[in-house]
Structure 1
Amino acid sequence: MREPLIPVVPMSHTAHIRSHRKPRRNASTLAMRTGVAGGVLSTLAVAGAAGSANAAEPVTQTLELPTLTADLATQLAQSAEVTQQAAANYELQAERDAAAAKAAQQAKADLADAKKKAEAKKKAEAARKAAAAEAASRSAERTVLSSSDSPSASTSTSSNVSAPASGNVATVIAFLKAQVGDAYVMGGTGPNAWDCSGLVQAAFKQVGVDLPRVSGDQSTAGTPVSLSNLEVGDILYWGSAGSAYHVGVYIGDGQYLDAANPSKGVVIQDLSGYPATGAVRVL
């Protein structure tokens, strides 16, 4: 039995050559590109719709604040510097005004103190002149009494004893009274504050008498005298001779002057209110 014949199709003379045509895209690739294209078109449609909607609404403008420029920043810095300098100038002027006020106050106080001292000096000079006349009178009286008692004794006294310089006691008392009202300060030696021995030392220095600085030494600096025979200018002391704790000066009429204490200052007091222990005479 014969096999059926299969017709032979003649091949093209180019069949053995690879085709230059691009291969066809498969279905999945075409579907993907179709989807992308559809998405783009959808987006454009949405955007168009939004644009149309926005076109129907009023446009709102946004205002931006101006940016701080370099020139404006420089001006602000200069303004701050000027303000700071003005404040410093005001502070300096205030300090100068305060210093000037303090100086004026001090000058006023110094002037008042100078006037006080000048007045005290004037009074002391007047008292010195008055005391000079009194001393001359007392000296003459003593001479007369000595002559009447014993002529020989008078000659001896005149040759061996010299009377204090005229007005010494009055000068001491005038100086002391000029300090009345001054403050008491422990260790004070003037001119406006004293302790008891500092005041006594300064008073007798006015007539050239150099007394020791402290009360104990001043209580033995002169000739001891009894309290019943006191004379103006005698130094009074409280406590034992050589270790006294306070001194003052007898000014007559049962009174004495001293730098008492911080609460009283320099005052005149009655001897009966605070009797002294003893007294010495240096003039």
Structure 2
Amino acid sequence: MPHTAPIRSHRKPRRSASKIAMRAGVAGGVLGTLAVAGASASANAAEPVTQTLEMPTLTDLSAQVAQSADATQQTAANYQLRAERDAAAANAAKQARLDLADARHKAAAAKKKAAAEAARRAAAERATRSAPRMALTAATTMGGGAGVSVDASAGSSTATGSAAAIVSFVKAQLGKAYVSGATGPSAYDCSGLVQTAFKQVGVSLPRVSQDQSTVGTSVSLSNLQPGDILYWGSAGSAYHVAVYVGDGMFVGAQNPSSGVVEKPLSYDPPTGAVRVL
């Protein structure tokens, strides 16, 4: 390197005045802007910001509260009504079960009572039939097997007059049905047949067997005549009646299975007899 070459200086070169002035202007502008912004911020901070919120009026709140209260009350009323209905249904079911049990108990008691009454009546019938059976046996022996002993002074076993008409009528009804309460012409019960038979000869008899067993004059079973009324049971409380037709035979409406039949006295010995003609 030649000794005459210039040596670089270590000192910084001076900035030109124009650059310095420009930089100063920029700085001043920035500072001015900051000052304006600061002033604006101060002004904004000093002035309060107002924000409008829409709040529900008192009238609207009252209406909403009232509607809610009405809905709650209606729901409670519905629950109460349902509870009352459920309770009523449960009580009705319970009462129905109690009524059914009571009805069954009463039916069983009535059935038991009816069975006891039937047994009592059967025993009474057997007791009342035992004595007449013995009397008829003796009468048969005395009458030579005719089935009944007829007093010669009282007539014979051959019917005459009104008695013959009655005998003829009851025999004409043989085979007809037994119907409780019937008085002919196609069906009869026991007292209905007797009453209708005597009506043929102008004699008016009571309707039921109990009363028919007390009309006329009581006669002995050993002194029967055609047309006499036979009864079963005691006089005044007889449960069956028929007409004696002679020769130890009677005609009566026996029961629903037999209807009107002709049977010997030994078939079902009567308790007693009355004479109306």
TM-score normalised to the size of structure 1?
Answer: 0.41
**Larger Cα-atom Rg:** 2
